[in-house]
Amino acid sequence: MEVLISESYDEMSKAAAQVVAKTLNAKPNAVLGLATGSTPLSLYKELVRLHRNEGLDFSQVTTFNLDEYVGLTRNNPQSYHYFMHHNLFQYINIPAQNIYIPSGTTDNYEAFCQWYEQRIVDSGGIDLQILGIGTDGHIAFNEPSSSLGSRTRIKTLAQSTIEDNARFFDKPEDVPIYAITMGVGTILEADRILMLASGDNKAKAVAAAIEGPVTSMITASALQLHQDVICLVDSGAAAELTMTDYYRWIQDKQPGAPQTVPRPHFRKKSIVDRYLES
């Protein structure tokens, strides 16, 4: 994992936007995995600014969102459909047919989840997956005890997540109990992953994810199994990391590391591919 510590949320968000912009400049038809929540808000603002002022082009981009609340229609202001349109999509030139967000209102969740997984595969797989992290260490809505091999499915939200997200709703009782979410296994198939974390309320989860054991109790720790993860954290979220001197030393020696360090890029092979080749 490449851990990059920014002094502020703003600096972190601008660095994240640069990673996205470089991805799109290198591959204009890239497939992006997108996240909701407070953390990526400034990243999306910066992407809108880059689109308006510097011509960052989304005309060939495809996006897949991580999750959606079950039971909320796309027009509900608390839905992630609404969030994405109001914070990003309405301001950029992405074609509507290239936007995929899990449905919170399908009448057949099982079929929908299979279709969503297949759409990701048919689009060529996710080139860059953006992630936040929950205070309980979740990625997307993969709550503690989720299988690290899980796929897109319905998940019951943890009590701590319901409490964390109650701030977006009028009353805590309004927070849906279920969500449809990409699985940990789905996320790990992205070519590159960019995890963002801001604020000292995330410090424990960040330290557990980056430096703790790989465990389904902190589903973000599964990112340790991926070959190309950038963790962009601000100083608050980095507060409980024990190796900060090391991370900062690397960062200082290689300014702009995520963009400049050459990496061998191998498309990951599935177990089935390997078996067929053997």
176 binds ligand PGA (CB under 6 A): no
138 an active-site residue? Answer: yes
189 an active-site residue? Answer: no
Q: How far is the CB of 196 from ligand PGA (least distance, A)?
A: 8
User: Where do we find the tokens 């497939």?
Assistant: 31
Q: Which of 68, 136, 191, 234 does the annotation list as catalytic? A: 136
**Which residues are bridge partners to 68 per DSSP?**
180
136 an active-site residue? Answer: yes
Q: Which of 51, 68, 127, 138 does the annotation list as catalytic? A: 138
Q: How far is the CB of 157 from ligand PGA (least distance, A)?
A: 10
Strand arrangement of the beta sheet that strand 128-131 belongs to: 2-6, 229-234, 192-197, 128-131, 31-34, 62-65, 99-100
Region 112-151 residues binding ligand PGA, contact defined as CB under 6 A: 132-134
CA dihedral (31, 37, 40, 45) in degrees, to 10, reads: 100
Which of 233, 144, 222 is CA-nearest to residue 186?
222
Our CB check for ligand PGA shows the closer of 98 and 197 to be 197
37 binds ligand PGA (CB under 6 A): yes
Our CB check for ligand PGA shows the closer of 33 and 134 to be 134
Q: Which residue is nearest to ligand PGA (CB)?
A: 37
Q: How many chain residues interact with ligand PGA (CB under 6 A)? A: 6
Q: How far is the CB of 38 from ligand PGA (least distance, A)?
A: 4
Neighbours of 81 (CB within 10 A): 23
Our CB check for ligand PGA shows the closer of 38 and 147 to be 38
HEC string of 116-155?
Answer: HHHHHHHCCCCCEEEECCCCCCCECCECCCCCCCCCCEEE
Burial of 9 (0-12, 13-18, 19+ CB in 10 A): buried
Pairing state of beta strands 31-34 and 128-131?
A: parallel
67 an active-site residue? Answer: yes
39 binds ligand PGA (CB under 6 A): yes
Q: Which residues are catalytic?
A: 67, 136, 138, 143
Tell me which residues touch ligand PGA (CB under 6 A). 37-39, 132-134
